[in-house]
Amino acid sequence: MLSTTYLSTLLAATAAACNLYVASYDGNVTTLSLSTTADGGYESEITYTNPGCAGSPAWLTLDAANDVLYCLDEGNQTPNGSITAFRTSASGELTVLSDRETITGPVSSVLYGSNSSRAIALSHYAGQAVSTFSIAANGSFVPLQNFTFTLPGPGVNPDRQTGAYQHQVVLDPTGQFILVPDLGSDLVRILHIDPSTNLLQEQPAIQMPPGSGPRHATFWSPDGAVSNGYGTNSTLYFYVVGELLNTINGFRVSYPAAGGIHFTPVSSTNTFGGAPVPTGAAAAEISISPDNRFLIVSNRLDRTFKIPNFDPNNSTAEPSDSLANFIPQGDGTLLFTQIWPAGGLHPRHFSFNKAGDLIAVALQLSNRVVIHERNVTTGYIQWPVAANAVGEQPTTVVWDEE
* Per-residue pLDDT reduced to its tens digit, 92-143: 999 999 999 999 999 999 999 998 899 999 999 999 999 999 999 999 999 9
* Beta carbons within 8 Å of 334's beta carbon, 6+ residues apart: 239, 248, 250, 267, 269, 295, 326, 327, 328
DSSP state of 56: -
Within 10 angstroms of residue 27's Cβ, the number of other Cβ atoms is 18
- pLDDT over 50 (residue 2): no
* Per-residue pLDDT reduced to its tens digit, 212-242: 999 999 999 998 766 555 555 679 999 999 9
CA-wise closest residue to 182 among 201, 192, 167: 167
DSSP state of 377: T
Within 10 angstroms of residue 29's Cβ, the number of other Cβ atoms is 25
**Cβ(352)–Cβ(15) below 8 Å:** no
**Cβ(299)–Cβ(281) below 8 Å:** yes
Identity of residue 386: A
Measured at the CA of 351, the angle between CA 334 and CA 294, to 5 degrees, comes to: 20
Within 10 angstroms of residue 377's Cβ, the number of other Cβ atoms is 8
Q: What is the rounded CA–CA span in Å between residue 38 and residue 28?
A: 32
Q: Which domains are assigned to the chain? A: 18-400 (2.130.10.10)
Q: What is the rounded CA–CA span in Å between residue 268 and residue 250?
A: 6
Strand 170-171 relative to strand 358-363: parallel, antiparallel, unpaired?
A: unpaired
Q: Helix H segments across 84-214? A: none
- pLDDT over 90 (residue 14): no
Q: What is the rounded CA–CA span in Å between residue 213 and residue 19?
A: 33
Q: Where are the beta strands (DSSP E) in 255-310?
A: 262-270, 282-288, 295-300, 305-307
Q: What is the rounded CA–CA span in Å between residue 5 and residue 384?
A: 6
Q: Given this model, what pLDDT does residue 153 score?
A: 82
Q: What is the rounded CA–CA span in Å between residue 57 and residue 55?
A: 6
Cα dihedral: 54, 91, 142, 200 (round 10) = -100
Mean pLDDT of 195-203: 97
Q: Given this model, what pLDDT does residue 128 score?
A: 98
pLDDT band at 299 (very low <50, low <70, confident <90, very high): very high
Mean pLDDT of 8-27: 70
pLDDT band at 40 (very low <50, low <70, confident <90, very high): confident
Q: What is the pTM of this model?
A: 0.94
**Cβ(164)–Cβ(202) below 8 Å:** no
Q: What is the rounded CA–CA span in Å between residue 50 and residue 30?
A: 6
* Per-residue pLDDT reduced to its tens digit, 234-282: 799 999 999 999 999 999 999 998 899 999 999 999 999 999 999 999 9
